[in-house]
Amino acid sequence: MYCPKCQSENVNTQVINTVVLKDKHRGLIWWLLIGWWWIPIKWIFFTLPALLFAIFGHRKQKAVNKKETVCVCQNCGYSWKI
Ligand SMILES: [Zn+2]
């Protein structure tokens, strides 16, 4: 492995694990088919949890682990992703 900046062979490779919070999005088709009646029904039958959800501002989020391999040149400090 060579550094693309200074052509040094003194390159350190490390795997970085980053946690990305992803919003769970509903598609347009979901809203057209289900969302318009499901949401009112959900509110009628699950008013209390729905209110609690609204109060605490709960958002459906999904933690996604993203593994990235990053090379760091020990000579010039240049870093790049593979
Ligand atoms: Zn370098």
Rounded to two decimals, what is the model's pTM?
A: 0.42
Domains of the chain: which residue ranges?
A: 1-24+60-82, 26-58
How much distance in Å is there from the Cα of 12 to the middle of ligand 1?
Answer: 10
Encode pLDDT of 5-49 as tens digits: 999 999 998 887 777 777 667 788 878 888 788 878 877 787 777
Confidence of residue 71 (pLDDT cuts 50, 70, 90): very high
How much distance in Å is there from the Cα of 76 to the middle of ligand 1?
Answer: 4
The DSSP secondary-structure symbol of 25 reads P
How much distance in Å is there from the Cα of 16 to the middle of ligand 1?
Answer: 19
Amino acid at 21: L
What would the two tokens of residue 13 be?
């490779």
How much distance in Å is there from the Cα of 15 to the middle of ligand 1?
Answer: 18
**Residues 6 or more apart in contact with residue 82 via CB below 8 angstroms:** 13, 69, 70, 71
CATH no. of 1-24+60-82:
2.20.25
